[in-house]
Amino acid sequence: NSFEQLCINIANEQIQYYFNQHIFAWELEEYKNEAVEAAEVSYVDNRPILDMFLSKPVGLLALLDEESHFPKATDATLVGKFHQNIKS
């Protein structure tokens, strides 16, 4: 896979996050505000994945951008930064 595909996948994850929020979270909140009974639907919240890639200054894309400014940076130094900043 290429960097372009990674960016496409991240954009798709952002769209999925918005969809999940709109359909599941916001609608349920509106039902509660209007005193309408509705069953909660469980879904996987992909916000942690988006944060891992997009948060600043320690998201993977921010670290990649930062590391690309150093002339002696290598893939090993980038992976080291990933390990240093990203927690499982």
Task: Identify the pLDDT of residue 87.
Answer: 65
* Residue with the two structure tokens 């200054």: 57
Q: Per-residue pLDDT for 67 more than 80?
A: yes
Tokens of 18: 């918005």
pTM, whole model, 2 decimals?
Answer: 0.76
Length of the chain: 88
Is the model's pLDDT at 86 over the cut of 80? no
| Cα torsion angle, 60, 63, 65, 70, sign | negative
Delimit the domains of the chain by residue range: 1-44, 55-88
- Measured in degrees and rounded to the nearest 5, phi and psi for residue 40 equal -75, 135
Q: Mean pLDDT across the stretch 80-87?
A: 84
Q: Taking 90 as the threshold, does the pLDDT of residue 24 lie above it?
A: no
What span, in angstroms and rounded, lies between the C-alpha atoms of 21 and 75? 36
How distant is the alpha carbon of residue 22 from its chain centre? 17
